[in-house]
Amino acid sequence: MGLTRSIVTEKAADYRAEEPLYPVEQEQIETLPKAFAAGEFGWRDAEWVVQWHYRRFLGAVPNDERREREKRFGRNDFTDVRDAIVAVAGAPDPADRLDRLTALEGVDVPVGSAFLQFSDPEACLAVGEREWSALCEHGELADPYPDPPSIAAYESYLDACRSACGRLDCDAWTLYRALWRLWKD
């Protein structure tokens, strides 16, 4: 069964009503894009994106593994982090953007895509097995989740998401919320 506007609208509303991280995510979606583009953010803002990526699973990623991954990101020099985030905030090419982000320690394609989502929530979505699988189950992607996803795989995912957004007349943040809930349901 394909995605429909009513399914996306319903599931995005479910996300808003039921997901415990929604309020803080919404706040960050409203503030981080401008801060990232202007380079007017602190270490905690960048670190928050990495923490969000792992913690949104609410315990599905074992604490030791999550802490180690977050610690790896913490080894980066803040100037390098800021330079990478500011550079991707204005760049149009997702592959170029991810290439810059994945040069940072502790940033793979899924974490990089989280930075893209909070840098450009109008056009980019975070990728993970849940979102990818929901797209597959609804006929938007043919291939199963590549673990780990490559930059080229992310581009395919993003193309499918953008196509769905255009066809369903919704924004990327709405589609992300719907995909997250579709996987859970």
Domain coverage including residue 25: 5-184
Report if pTM > 0.75: yes
The predicted-structure confidence for 39-93, as pLDDT tens digits, reads as follows 999 999 999 999 999 888 765 666 787 788 899 999 999 999 999 999 998 788 9
Q: How many structural domains comprise the chain?
A: 1
- Tell me the CA distances in angstroms from 121 to 5, 65, 97, 137, 145, one per residue in order: 19, 27, 14, 23, 22
Q: Is the pLDDT of residue 179 over 90?
A: yes
Measured CA to CA, the distance from residue 29 to residue 176 in angstroms comes to 12
pLDDT at 57: 73
Measured CA to CA, the distance from residue 45 to residue 50 in angstroms comes to 9
The predicted-structure confidence for 82-123, as pLDDT tens digits, reads as follows 999 999 987 889 899 999 999 999 999 999 999 999 999 999
CB 125 within 8 A of CB 140: no
Measured CA to CA, the distance from residue 111 to residue 45 in angstroms comes to 14
Positive or negative, the Cα torsion across 137, 138, 142, 148?
negative
DSSP 65-95: HHHHHHHHHHTS-HHHHHHHHHHHHH---HH
- Tell me the CA distances in angstroms from 24 to 28, 30, 102, 154, one per residue in order: 6, 10, 25, 25
Q: Which residue has the tokens 């991954």?
A: 69
CB 104 within 8 A of CB 134: no
